[in-house]
Structure 1
Amino acid sequence: MSPRDVGTGLFGRTTTNCGTSGPASCHNTTIQTNLCCFEAPGGLLVQTQFWDTNPSTGPLNSWTIHGLWPGDCDLTYDTSCDPSRDYTDITGLLDNAGQQSLVSYMDTYWVPNSGTPESFWEHEWSTHGTCYSTLQPSCITGYTTGEEAVIFFERAVALFQTLPTYTWLANAGITPSSTATFTLSSLTNALTTASGGYTPALYCDSSHVLYQIYWYFNLKGSLIDGQFVPISAPRAGSCPSSGIHYPPKS
Structure 2
Amino acid sequence: MSSFSKAAALAAMFPFVLAATPDTCANDSSVLSCSGTSTNTCCINSPGGLFQQVQFWDTDPATGPTDSWTIHGLWPNNCDGTYSESCDKSRAYTDITTLLQNAGQTDTLSYMQTYWLSDDESDEKFWEHEWGTHGTCISTLDPSCYTDYTTGAEAVDFFVKVVSLFQGLPTYTWLANAGITPSDSQTYSLSDMQSALESAFGAPVILLCQDTNVVYEIYYAYNVQGSVQDGTFVPTSNVGTTSNCPATVQYPTK
Equivalent residue number for residue 34 of structure 2: 26
Equivalent residue number for residue 196 of structure 2: 190
Alignment partner of 1:173 out of 160, 172, 179: 179
Deviation of the 1:15 alpha carbon = 4.5
Equivalent residue number for residue 236 of structure 2: 231
Equivalent residue number for residue 124 of structure 1: 130
CA contact (8 A) 2:141 2:154 kept: yes
Equivalent residue number for residue 251 of structure 2: 246
CA contact (8 A) 1:16 1:224 kept: no
Q: 1:203 and 1:160 mapped to 2: Cα distance?
A: 18
Counterpart of 2:209, as a letter, is C
Deviates most, 106-115 or 186-195? 186-195
How many aligned positions are there? Answer: 245
CA contact (8 A) 1:203 1:239 kept: yes
Instruction: List gaps (5 residues or longer) in structure 2.
Output: none
**In the alignment, structure 1 residue 221 sits paired with structure 2 residue 226:** yes
Give the structure-1-normalised TM-score: 0.93
Structure number with greater CO (CA < 8 Å, separation at least 6) is 1
Q: SS of the counterpart of 2:147?
A: coil
Residues 15 and 136 of structure 1: is their aligned pair in 2 closer, same or farther, counting only changes over 3 Å?
A: closer
**In the alignment, structure 1 residue 206 sits paired with structure 2 residue 211:** yes
Deviates most, 16-25 or 164-173? 16-25
Q: SS of the counterpart of 1:10?
A: coil
State the Cα deviation string for residues 148-188 of structure 1 (Å, max 9, x = none).
00000000000000000000000100000000111111101
Q: 2:198 and 2:48 mapped to 1: Cα distance?
A: 24
Counterpart of 1:233, as a letter, is N
Equivalent residue number for residue 146 of structure 1: 152
Q: 2:150 and 2:77 mapped to 1: Cα distance?
A: 26
Q: 1:88 and 1:56 mapped to 2: Cα distance?
A: 26
Give the structure-2-normalised TM-score: 0.92
Runs of 4+ in 1 over 2 A off after TM superposition: 1-16, 19-22, 232-236
Counterpart of 1:77, as a letter, is Y
Alignment partner of 2:66 out of 60, 69, 81: 60
CA contact (8 A) 1:70 1:132 kept: yes
CA contact (8 A) 2:3 2:169 kept: no
Deviation of the 1:14 alpha carbon = 4.1
CA contact (8 A) 2:63 2:118 kept: yes
State the Cα deviation string for residues 70-113 of structure 1 (Å, max 9, x = none).
11111100000000001000000000000111111100000011
State the Cα deviation string for residues 104-134 of structure 1 (Å, max 9, x = none).
1100000011111100000000000000110
Deviation of the 1:3 alpha carbon = 5.4
Deviation of the 1:237 alpha carbon = 1.7
CA contact (8 A) 2:64 2:117 kept: yes
% identical aligned pairs: 54
CA contact (8 A) 2:212 2:246 kept: no
Cα RMSD (Å) of the superposition?
Answer: 1.7
**In the alignment, structure 1 residue 39 sits paired with structure 2 residue 45:** yes
CA contact (8 A) 1:59 1:108 kept: yes
**In the alignment, structure 1 residue 103 sits paired with structure 2 residue 109:** yes
